[in-house]
Amino acid sequence: MSTQNTLMIYVAAFLAVFGQATLPGLRDWVGAQVDLLPALMVYTAMYASLVNVGLLAVLGGMWFDCLSANPLGISILPLFLTGWLIFTQRELILRDLPFAQIVLGAAASAVVPLGTVLMLLSAGKGLLLDWGSLWQWMVMVAGGAAATPVVFAVFNWFDRVFGYQVRTETSFRADREIRRSRL
């Protein structure tokens, strides 16, 4: 993955967290805000290095926590564990298939909030949880699943447009050409 694409991931993570805090999004319609960080983590884990997966987890998690009432750093581990698991299995995943992207996005969007809530509960924090939270979780899963193919499409397009393409070598060699006469 190109350097500018890697940088774009961090910019997108920053803007995603900011957008989640400032824009109403789905919150007014369905009562839950969709988290875009898991979708970005899926893309990063599929294309970038493990260092970038770690950096996105640390930076994205800290940005999220600083705008939230979460203790600083609580979102890092669930994000990284999700990315780490995908990264270690990425050779087995058909990453260009939209179905695979949707499934990965849904799984990541399900695991990250669940992990964060579990960590908050184990830290003894009182959270706003009831049966309605199940609905919010489902909205987050569906939102993450829908967002992941979009993230893949946008970043792949960005990579194609702004990145250097690998030049494929032709097998044709002029000095080995067999020249035939008409007869």
Partner 1 sequence: MFKQKHFLALGAVTLAALLLLSLPPRVTARLKLALGSLFLPFSSLAATAEQLPADVADNVLPRRELLQELARLQRENQELKVRALQEATMGLENEQLRYQLRWQRQVAWKIKLANVVMRDPANWWRTVEIDLGSQQGVTNNLPVLTPEGLVGRIAAVWPTHSQVVLIGDPNCRVSALIDNPAHDVGVVNAAGALDNTLADLTYLSGTAVLKPGEDVVTSGLGGIFPKGIPIGRIVDSRQVEFGLYTEARVKLAANLGTLEQVWVLFR
Among 1, 8, 10, 70, binds partner 1 (CB under 8 A): 70
28 belongs to the binding site for partner 1 (CB under 8 A): yes
Instruction: Give counts: helices (H), strands (E), the chain.
Output: 7, 0
Angle at 154 between CA 2 and CA 83, to 5 degrees: 65
Distance from C-alpha of 56 to C-alpha of 41, rounded to nearest angstrom: 7
* CA 15 vs CA 59, 119, 131: distances in Å: 12, 25, 30
Please name which of 144, 60, 135, 134 lies closest in space to residue 107, comparing C-alpha atoms.
144
Q: Taking the mean position of all CA atoms in its chain, how far away is CA 172?
A: 41
- The one segment of 13-21, 39-47, 102-110, 173-181 that binds partner 1 by CB under 8 A: 13-21
Among 2, 4, 14, 98, binds partner 1 (CB under 8 A): 14
Cβ distance to partner 1 smaller for residue 47 or 64: 64
11 belongs to the binding site for partner 1 (CB under 8 A): no
Site of interaction with partner 1 (CB under 8 A) = 14, 17-18, 20-22, 27-28, 31-33, 35, 50-51, 53-54, 57-58, 61-74, 76-77, 80-81, 84, 87-89, 91, 113, 116-117, 120, 123, 126-130, 132-133, 135-136, 140
